[in-house]
Chains A and B, each alone.
Chain A
Amino acid sequence: MRHAFTLADVEHELWLARAGDGHRLHLGARAIPVSLDRGLDGAATLRIDGARHHALVSVDGDHVHIHLDGETWTVRHADPVQRHGHHHGASADDIAQAPMPGTVIAVHVAQGQAVARGDTMVVIESMKLETAVKAWRDGTVAAVHVAVAQSFERSAPLVTLAPED
């Protein structure tokens, strides 16, 4: 079974197979013998290509957090069902998404309203800074996803414009 993992915003497909006492990692054209011994408090020892590496590892759902050689990384395992479930309804090009978590300060548009490129649609505040979310093209507001004083997470949809013809 193939698995999709995301590391540093890049998706990797891999395949893990049993091999003797350990496993074999199939990545691209490479088949690499690997094994992992997990100790207490997140300590783990990776054996790969015959070399040993000490790491700290913590799993949170489908996220694996790893500290290795002074740097911290998060690897996300994409569920194969969810991976292909995103493509219903509006395309990403029609949605203004929150660039970071924050709070809504003002909403200047309503559903059905026509907007011109550059019109301020929503004003948000994140980490002390006010940002005007502006229409990136002419269009009609298909949906306003937030209300004044509402908090949102990063990547939350704020305003959707009707798809262009």
Chain B
Amino acid sequence: MTKPMREIAATARPFDTVLIANRGEIALRILRTVQELGLRAAVVHHASEADAPAVRAADRAIEITGRTPVAAYLDPAQIIAAAHAAGAGAIHPGYGFLSENAGFARAVAAAGLVFVGPTPDAIELMGDKVRARAFVARHGFPVAPSAVEDEDPASFVERARAVGFPLLIKPAAGGGGKGMRIVRDAAALPEELARARSEGARYFGDGRLYVERYVENPRHIEVQVLGDSRGEVVHLYERECSVQRRFQKIIEETPSPALSAAERDRVCEAAAGIARAARYRNAGTVEFIYGGGEFFFLEMNTRLQVEHPVTEMVTGIDLVREQLRIAAGEPLGMRQSDVRVEGHAIECRVYAESPAHGFVPTAGPVLILRLPEGEGVRVDSGIRAGQRVTTAFDPMLAKVIVRGRTRDEARARAHAALGDFVLLGCETNAGFLRRLLDHPAFADGAVHTGFLDAHPEIAAAPPPAPDLVEKLLAIAALSLRPVRDAADAVPPLYAAIGAWRN
């Protein structure tokens, strides 16, 4: 972070300890800034992760319990009790879990604590995708053709058909790709609606749906915004997150290779306008679908995003620091003209999954872990050697973020950094990420959000060349005691005869 930033004045701080209500890489990343600001960092953790890096680095760690590990992080009463126990004056929710739960934000305030996030009203507005769309449309910003179940449930299926195919079903209360389905065929619509309704009801306790026209070959462009409690808003330019699989982002970058300078200005100003209209406070992200020179509002995420580091890498602005300053009641530390982008940044998400086997999640011990280093390389990781990767939590293990002067330099650095990312014991998608970075479509900046689903061959790892097979089998055979012992038990002469028999 190169830019000087006004610190929270020590005397004016409304809190000196921040409870981080999250885990994994984001808990550690938030903790780093909290401690850099001279504040104390407390984290909650499930018993299964008592050894995690964030727990070790925290000034205070508090165990939480639940029916499942995830359930523990979704329990507002327990999180607030932990904050009191740690003497924390503020709670940072990170992303996921309770980060976009208005009830939690209200409960935090009612407990006399500061919620490091937007107002509950803003969370509610943007969390209800139907209301959010209507709000954005009312303020004159573009949205895609759609049908909303709530407006007249009896005619919903008919109105959904009228939107036209392909269409996208979304849970009204959803986000992050959960429960979303593309339907290309009218005959499949009733069953897909039933499935989406069931998923929505289970994940969000709300089975209401809406459908919208699915833009073919769309690009996902989002804009980082910051707003303070005085109503000031700036944008920190866009990120492109078009490399996705089933709505899950895999690689993100900034600037977007898809936008002209005029389009960039238009989309960034629209995002800032939406945030301003909502009197948005905190860091937030306005997401758009972009295709054929047009962009439509998708949703606004009222939290820190997984991919926030690419913005930090090119602007030099620490978004967590800004969140904490805004939560402390300070005005924005910058004007729009102070925000400058230098270079190009790419983030690659390292997942515990097997691309060659349909991206099934993988699990296993972290036997050896070596993280890449070097010029322009940042790694946000939440794992350490000796831990076990399980399927109890999200499969994202770490993020490799690089910056270069140009997109090609960033791409080359990302490729090299992923080659230096060593995790033995649990399969990851690192090799797949390297193939993606090398793919001509990505090199040309021509990837749309359906690209990976349309090109499953990229996921299938090419078979190792014969000389590589020989090396790997030799290492394996020589590393296994029983194989070595069997070889050493045979006298050389017989071994030679054995070879002839082969």
Contact = CB atoms under 8 A, between A and B. Distances in A.
Interface of A: 1, 3, 5, 7-10, 12, 14-19, 23-27, 30-32, 34-36, 38, 41-42, 44, 46, 48, 53, 55-60, 62, 64-75, 77, 99-102, 105, 126-130, 132, 154
A9 B486 CA distance: 25
A9 B488 CA distance: 28
Given A26-B502, A67-B424, A59 B477 contact: no
A13 B31 CA distance: 50
Interface stretch (B209-217, B258-266, B360-368, B450-458): B360-368
28 contacts: A1-B486, A3-B477, A3-B483, A5-B476, A7-B469, A7-B472, A8-B461, A14-B473, A17-B487, A18-B488, A18-B490, A19-B495, A23-B477, A23-B487, A24-B495, A26-B502, A44-B475, A57-B424, A59-B479, A60-B365, A65-B368, A65-B425, A66-B475, A70-B434, A127-B361, A128-B178, A129-B246, A154-B360
A58 B358 contact: no
Nearest to B486: A1
A44 B476 CA distance: 11
Interface string B75-90: 0000000000000000
Nearest to B196: A130
A69 B361 CA distance: 24
A12 B479 CA distance: 16
Contacts of A46: 471, 474-475, 478
Of A5, A15, A56, A105, most buried by chain B (CB within 10 Å of CB) is A15
A59 B452 CA distance: 33
B425 A60 contact: yes
Interface residues of B, number: 64
A55 B365 contact: no
A29 to B, nearest CB: 8
In the A-B complex, the 6 residue pairs with the closest CB atoms: A70-B419, A100-B360, A17-B495, A75-B476, A65-B424, A36-B478
A76 to B, nearest CB: 8
A99 B484 CA distance: 35
A55 B422 CA distance: 11
B477 A16 contact: yes
Nearest to B199: A130
Interface string B199-224: 10011000000000000000000000
A99 B487 contact: no
Given A18-B488, A99-B360, A127-B361, A67 B422 contact: yes
A12 B473 contact: yes
B496 interface: yes
Nearest to B176: A128
B247 to A, nearest CB: 9
Contact of B499 (A15, A59, A102): A15
Interface in B373-413: 391, 395
Contacts of A8: 356, 461, 463-464
Contacts of A25: 470, 473-474, 477
B343 to A, nearest CB: 24
Contact of B475 (A10, A18, A55, A62): A55
Which of B365, B463, B502: most chain A Cβ within 10 A? B502
A23 B492 CA distance: 10
A64 B475 contact: yes
B475 A57 contact: yes
B32 interface: no
Interface in B423-443: 423-425, 427-428, 430-431, 434
B13 interface: no
A73 B461 CA distance: 11
B383 to A, nearest CB: 15
A26 B499 contact: yes
B474 A32 contact: yes
Contacts of B177: 128
B480 interface: yes
B150 interface: no
Contact of A30 (B178, B470, B488): B470
Given A71-B431, A101-B361, A58 B477 contact: no
B229 interface: no
Contacts of B468: 68-69
Given A35-B478, A56-B370, A77-B476, A27 B470 contact: yes
B46 interface: no
A39 to B, nearest CB: 12
A44 to B, nearest CB: 7
Contact of A42 (B424, B474, B486, B499): B424
B195 interface: yes
B474 A36 contact: yes
Given A36-B479, A101-B363, 20 more contacts: A1-B486, A7-B476, A10-B463, A17-B490, A18-B488, A18-B495, A25-B470, A34-B474, A56-B368, A59-B480, A60-B367, A66-B475, A70-B434, A72-B424, A73-B472, A99-B358, A99-B360, A100-B358, A126-B360, A130-B198
